[in-house]
A = this chain, B = another copy of it.
Amino acid sequence: MSLENDFNDYRAKMNEKILAQGDTNMKRLYALDASTYQNGALSVKTKEMLGLVSSMVLRCDDCIKYHLGKCKEEGLTTEELFEIFTVANLVGGTIVIPHTRRALEYWESLSNENQVK
């Protein structure tokens, strides 16, 4: 599970440094980032799917990893994931394909699935 651990360890270490040194506004942005994905009119799962597809079309690999982890926690199935992949690749174009390859690799690392279900 090194992909997952490497990502989480680096993320945690650097976020801690940013929050320790950042100004009040940066701290507010981080707080807002946390509160936005909480349960509301839309469920956490739906919001995490929105965060995932947004990260894919904007092609941010680390953002994709973060939301994949959250989607996994919220019970997203691999079948649902692939439909998100298709929307992202259609809307964002084939430049999203390389990010989809890395997303699937990370998802499989998360879920310990090494083969096609």
Interface residues of A (CB under 8 A from B): 10-11, 14-15, 17-18, 20-26, 28-29, 32-33, 35-37, 40-42, 46-47, 49-51, 53-55, 57-63, 77-80, 82-98, 100-102, 104-105, 108, 116-117
Contact = CB atoms under 8 A, between A and B. Distances in A.
- The secondary structure that dominates the A interface is helix
Given A33-B97, A54-B91, 12 more contacts: A23-B79, A23-B82, A26-B82, A29-B86, A32-B32, A32-B90, A33-B94, A42-B80, A46-B49, A51-B87, A62-B97, A91-B95
As for how many copies of this chain the complex holds, the number is 6
The 8 A-B pairs of least Cβ separation, nearest first, read A93-B93, A62-B98, A14-B101, A41-B79, A60-B95, A54-B91, A20-B116, A92-B93
